[in-house]
Structure 1
């Protein structure tokens, strides 16, 4: 799992796997989920800090579940 935050553009990108993306689905105007053949591969959130998704307050709770 890899988490990257671009402060300049306020974009949060969470990558669960490097498998190829076969389908992308938008959930609202600012959240996009990329799916691989096996399930969710990545999540991209635009205006992440402005929308309250960054910083991740509960990162220690999320990491064990993602592994």
Structure 2
């Protein structure tokens, strides 16, 4: 799992897999989920800090459960 945050553009990108994206779905104007054949591969959130998604309060828990 890889978490990247772009402070200049306020974009949070969470990558779960390097598998090719086969389907992109927008769940709202600022949340996009990329699906691989095996499930969720990545999540991109626009205006992440403004919307309260960044900073991640439970980042350590997320990383522990992903590894």
TM-score (norm 2): 0.95
Give 1:55 shift: 0.4
Give 1:12 shift: 0.2
Runs of 5+ unmatched residues, structure 1: none
The runs of at least 4 aligned residues of structure 1 exceeding 2 Å deviation read 64-67
Runs of 5+ unmatched residues, structure 2: none
Superposition RMSD in Å = 0.7
More helix by share: 2
Aligned ranges for residues 11-50 of structure 1 at < 5 Å?
11-50=11-50
Distance 2:66 2:28 in 1: 23
Give 1:60 shift: 1.3
Give 1:50 shift: 0.2
